[in-house]
Chains A and B, each alone.
Chain A
Amino acid sequence: MNHSTNDLAIDARMLARRFGAQWVLRGVSLELRSGVAAGLVGANGSGKSTLLRLLCTLLRPTAGTASIFGADIASEPDRVRELVGFFSPVPGVYEDLTAMENIRFAATMLGRPAGSAASALERTGLASVANERVRGFSSGMLRRLSLARLLVHRPRLLLLDEPYNNFDAPGTALLNDVIRETLAFGGSALIVVHDVASAMPVVNEWFSLTGGKMSPSAAIPVGSPSPSIIPALGMSGVLH
């Protein structure tokens, strides 16, 4: 393992994944440097979520390899899981537990101190409902709760699957702050987005998937609110 590979947050080569007879990813290569946030766009069914699930070890690749900060997703899944935080559109919390119990549980499972749960709830604005059961939470509150789980984890690589769904403006700002902090500490983020505008402030690179393959050139997001960033897109995000 040479030194330069370890600098890459994601080093994926020819990743492919088949569900039954259906090839959802058909050989995707992607390099993401540390300190960079990349946006991933593509139509429904283009394989975006599958790519994220492969990178965070929830799925095994049918073919191809990938490493996260030098940790191979197939042979060192445990190290990868320590490094990666996956933020999915499904909250994935336990409805019969309180917000605090949910995050404490996550802290134990992640090997983090129990105290980290309180500050994470504080930051996501859930401190006042910390001891209420999750069952009655609105979808926006549930998103904040999963974000709190991510704050307890503090992973080096954020894999965010449509993270802006159900967030109000302050929620979006909070999420972007979390992404910026991760980048500041030398981490990276790969963000699947439909809502390109929300991700604009943090994303420095764009990737595009079509039919399970990387599109030859970076897609320029449609309806981009600030044309000034388009030159920035032009200089990066192109696949090798």
Chain B
Amino acid sequence: MAFRDEWLRARAVAWKDLMAERRSKAGFNSVAALGVTILVLFGFALGPDAEAIRAAAPGALWLAALFAGVLAFNRSYQVELDGGALEPLLMYPGARRSIFAGKLLANFVFVFLLLVIVIAVSLVLFHITVPSTWPRLLLVVLLGEVGLVTLGTFYAAMASRSRAREVLLPLLLFPMLVPVLLAAMQATKALLVGDVMHDAGAWTSLLVAYDVIFLISTFLAFDYVIEA
């Protein structure tokens, strides 16, 4: 019963965030446009040699998702801060972790849509052919995204309420994301060439371990972060 209540609250928060995001279309569209722009710039940095571009594509893809996605995380708290809505939100009874869960869910959907666009554009720009191992690739994308969004949503709760939030969030977040980015890039790279070295499995396990560890610790720590 208690779990059901928390789920209903989390769903309400996620729905509310996504609805507000959808109504102000500028948000998603500009973030997606930024993601594509970053991909194009990577093309200039790495090209014009087609082979070099293809080899670097997994890295470029994840970095584009990271740089564009990081904008979503601060936005997710900006919605609360703009109209002074954070206080009523914190005044609702029930565990605050359902607020975190809701924001996490909304950001997951947001970044997922972003990833769809970024991946689709990467396929075209970087001459990637979809490998037969694509279901495993999808799994890697989802696991990598969970890690990215978990820590992003968590650190934005602090950064968005500090001075210099634009600088602080990436500064806190990016070093923490090194393992998840590294694993996601390497697994993507391996799977794009058919996992001939059989190393995608190890990276996928690392992603799972990272996601589990940080999902648990952020859920435990969120109360402290949101309280002050």
A and B touch in the complex (CB under 8 A): yes
Which residues of A are in contact with B by a Cβ distance under 8 Å?
A: 56-58, 60, 78-79, 81-82, 84-86, 88, 90-97, 101, 105-106, 108-111, 133, 146, 149
A60: B residues at CB distance < 8 A: 227
Among A56, A57, A93, A94, the one with the most B-chain Cβ atoms within 10 Å of its Cβ is A94
Are B87 and A97 in touch, CB under 8 angstroms?
A: no
CB-defined contacts of A111 to chain B, threshold 8 Å? 5, 93-94
Partner of B91, one of A58, A101, A105: A58
- Interfacial residues, chain B to chain A (CB-CB below 8 A): 5, 8-9, 12-13, 16, 19-20, 23-24, 79, 82-95, 227
Cα distance A94–B18 when bound, in Å? 12
Besides A90-B83, A105-B16, 16 other A-B contacts (C-beta < 8 A):
A58-B90, A82-B93, A88-B84, A93-B83, A93-B85, A96-B19, A97-B19, A101-B16, A101-B19, A105-B12, A106-B92, A108-B8, A109-B89, A110-B92, A146-B88, A149-B88
Instruction: Compute how far the CA of A146 lies from the CA of B9 in the bound complex, rounded to whole angstroms.
Output: 19
Contact of A78 among B9, B13, B86, B93 (CB under 8 A): B93
Chain B residues near A133: list those with CB within 8 A: 23
Contact call B91/A108, Cβ cutoff below 8 A: no
- Which residues of B are found within 8 Å of A56, using beta-carbon distances? 91
**For residue B91, which residues in chain A have a CB less than 8 angstroms away from its CB?**
56-58, 81, 84-86
- Which residues in A have their C-beta under 8 angstroms from that of B90? 58
List the 8 closest A-B pairs by CB distance, nearest first: A90-B84, A109-B92, A96-B20, A108-B12, A81-B93, A96-B23, A92-B88, A82-B93
Main SS at interface, chain B = helix
- B84 contact set on A, CB distance < 8 A: 88, 90-92
Please give, as numbers and ranges, the residues of chain B lying within 8 Å of A86 by CB-CB distance: 87-88, 91
Complex Cα gap A79–B95 (Å): 11
Which of chain B's residues have a CB closer than 8 A to the CB of A146?
88
Q: How far is the CB of A227 from chain B (nearest CB, A)?
A: 38
Whether the pair A108, B9 counts as a contact (CB closer than 8 A) is: yes
CA distance A85 to B88 in the complex (A): 9
Assess A94 versus B79: contact at CB under 8 Å? Given A81-B93, A108-B8.
yes
Chain B contacts for A91, CB-based, 8 A: 83-84
Q: Is the CB of A94 within 8 A of B93?
A: no
What distance in Å separates the Cβ of A105 from its nearest Cβ neighbour in chain B?
5
Chain A residues near B95 (CB-CB < 8 A): 78
Q: Which residues of B contact A106 (CB under 8 A)?
A: 88, 92
The residues of A that contact B93 with a CB separation of less than 8 Å are: 78-79, 81-82, 110-111
Sample (26) of A-B pairs whose CB atoms are under 8 Å apart: A56-B91, A78-B94, A78-B95, A79-B93, A81-B92, A82-B93, A84-B91, A86-B91, A88-B84, A90-B87, A92-B84, A92-B88, A94-B16, A94-B83, A94-B85, A95-B82, A96-B23, A96-B24, A101-B16, A101-B19, A105-B12, A109-B12, A109-B94, A110-B92, A110-B93, A133-B23
